Amino acid sequence: MPDVEITPPQPSDRAGWEAMWAGYCAFYAVPHTPEKADTVWSWISDPAHPVKGFLARTGEGRVVGLTHYRAFHRPIAGAVGCFLDDLFVDPEVRGGGIAARLVEAVVGEARRNGWGVVRWITAEDNARARALYDRIAAKTQWVTYEIRP
């Protein structure tokens, strides 16, 4: 899909972004609520907030993908890295290289900011995404844990 443009979200992108956000939440079986959408949209709309994003838009302006990312401090490295939090492409247009272009936009942002690494996680059973990630990135040795206080 060569006519896709990757840019930061604009105020007029809210509805398109939210459709992709809802799809992402549904994919991971996480509740999508208006309050959560308002919160995340406020983050990526605020230039001072650390969470940023990119959207993929067709030539007609339809939003067909999203990614969110943020800087994180790496004390062990004495450096700053980038965490790619979310990546989603409309199922109707998958397979056209949009996900790779969204990741590359984040990598470009990391280069511009001097961030030494771009890191992300995905579900173990997300085979389609992992096939892409295996082509464009190195799988790490790290295992993820979490505690919900």
- DSSP for 22-86 reads HHHHHHTT----HHHHHHHHHHHH-TTSS-EEEEEE-TT--EEEEEEEEEEEETTTTEEEEEEEE
pLDDT of residue 100: 97
Neighbours of 20 (CB within 10 A): 21
pLDDT of residue 51: 98
Kindly state the DSSP code that residue 99 receives in the 8-state scheme: H
pLDDT of residue 137: 96
Tokens of 90: 């409309």
This prediction's pTM: 0.94
CA distance 129 to 114: 26
Q: What is the pLDDT along the chain (149 residues), one digit of tens a residue?
A: 458 999 999 999 999 999 999 999 999 999 999 999 999 999 999 999 999 999 999 999 999 999 999 999 999 999 999 999 999 999 999 999 999 999 999 999 999 999 999 999 999 999 999 999 999 999 999 989 999 99
Chain centroid offset of residue 74 CA: 20
pLDDT of residue 149: 96
pLDDT of residue 2: 57
